[in-house]
Amino acid sequence: MHIWKVASAESGMTLNAFLKLKLGDAYSAKQLKHAIERNLCRINQRVERFASTRVANGDQIEWDNDKLQFLFASSQLKFEAKRIIYEDADLLVYDKPAGINCDTSGIVRLIHQKDPSLKLVHRLDRDTTGILLFAKTDAVLHKMIHLFKTFKVKKTYYVIVDGAISKEKGVIDNNLAPLHKYQGQTVWGQATGSKGVHARTGWRKEKKGQDCTLIQCYPVTGITHQIRVHMSEMGHPILGDYQYGRRFICSYQPSRYLLHAYEITFPHPSSEKEIRLKAPLPSDFKQALDHLRLI
């Protein structure tokens, strides 16, 4: 961890330029911008995600160099056989790590190291970890997509949210729509009137901490950023999700939002036998549970 105090001569510099000045040629401007957008920099103890932000005289800049090195290592992830949760003639189920997009340059490129014919069935957000399904043929892909569309696939996520939730369980049911862009990403939120796409998420409290809560979420639909938006609308954004939560009660600041696709249940596309699979919690999630005394 690096900590600097902005001098009067440095006041007015962009955050990116300030970090480049302090770190020299260790990282490119593009790498620094990427790291800032991934929550690795704080100004006066608050996460700052805009590289263009101007620093002021006396500002305290905190830079997490250890997590930065992990970030760039994760961008070169290789296929790991130990992450296979399930495999048969039709499907491969992989335990997705954080920091990789569900697109052709991300998880698809990685999984094709195992088998170039594998086809992505559904998606998880970049920093969401856990269960991800791949089909081995077009026929299986179409069957799995149909199962998702007809709500035959049941999903359970573990989430650590900000604030102590008093209720034991609940359901959020509304329409969501894209609202605007933030850091190059589309931000979703509640749609007005009858516009948008229907989204429904059930949730249940697992354990309440002093200023945070561990919950299970059961998304019925699969809208972009659905759980993240719904938790934010409850007034309890996911810890580490600075896209949907800017002010947090809890002081714990993870380098990613703590959302994990833990369990999935569905009828097998060929045998129709019920398949129930689980992905173990990743190490950073378990560390957060321990630190926040949610175990």
Chain segment 64-109, per-residue pLDDT in tens:
876 665 565 555 578 999 999 999 999 999 999 998 889 887 899 8
Same domain assignment for residues 179 and 247: yes
Residues 6 or more apart whose CB falls under 8 angstroms from that of 49 comprise 36, 37, 39, 183, 242
Same domain assignment for residues 13 and 103: no
Predicted local distance difference test score (pLDDT) of residue 64: 80
Residues 6 or more apart whose CB falls under 8 angstroms from that of 125 comprise 102, 225, 228, 259
Q: What are phi and psi of 41, to 5 degrees?
A: -130, 140
Same domain assignment for residues 143 and 164: no
Task: Determine the Cα–Cα distance for residues 295 and 293; give it in Å rounded to an integer.
Answer: 6
Contact criterion met (CB below 8 Å) for 1 and 63: yes
Range of the domain at 196: 152-266+274-290
Task: Determine the Cα–Cα distance for residues 130 and 74; give it in Å rounded to an integer.
Answer: 15
Mean pLDDT, residues 6-23 taken together: 92
Same domain assignment for residues 203 and 253: yes
Residue 96 tokens read as 């997705």
Question: Closest by alpha carbon to 251, among 210, 221, 195, 202?
Answer: 210
Residue 187 tokens read as 């931000």
Q: What are phi and psi of 19, to 5 degrees?
A: -65, -40
For residue 192, name the pLDDT band (cuts at 50, 70, 90).
confident
Among the residue ranges 38-42, 165-169, 258-262, the one predicted with the least confidence is: 38-42
Final residue in a domain of this structure, among 121, 148, 175: 148
Task: Determine the Cα–Cα distance for residues 174 and 192; give it in Å rounded to an integer.
Answer: 10
Same domain assignment for residues 41 and 2: yes
How many structural domains comprise the chain?
Answer: 3
Distance in Å from the first CA to the final CA of the chain: 27
Same domain assignment for residues 92 and 215: no
Mean pLDDT, residues 189-202 taken together: 89
> Does any domain span residue 112?
yes
Same domain assignment for residues 164 and 236: yes
Q: What is the CATH number of the domain that holds 119?
A: 3.30.70.580
Q: What is the CATH number of the domain that holds 17?
A: 3.10.290.10
> Does any domain span residue 295?
no
> Does any domain span residue 219?
yes
Final residue in a domain of this structure, among 94, 123, 148: 148
Same domain assignment for residues 103 and 214: no
Same domain assignment for residues 125 and 183: no
Active site residue 125: yes
Distance of CA 66 to the CA centre of its chain: 20
Same domain assignment for residues 177 and 250: yes
Same domain assignment for residues 141 and 170: no
Same domain assignment for residues 164 and 135: no
For residue 1, name the pLDDT band (cuts at 50, 70, 90).
confident
pLDDT, tens digit, 9 for 90 and up, residues 24-62: 876 778 888 888 887 888 899 888 888 899 999 999 999
Is residue 294 scored above 80 in pLDDT? yes
Catalytic residue among 64, 125, 162, 241, which? Answer: 125
Predicted local distance difference test score (pLDDT) of residue 67: 66
H or E, element range at 109? helix 107-111
Residues 6 or more apart whose CB falls under 8 angstroms from that of 173 comprise 198, 199, 200, 201
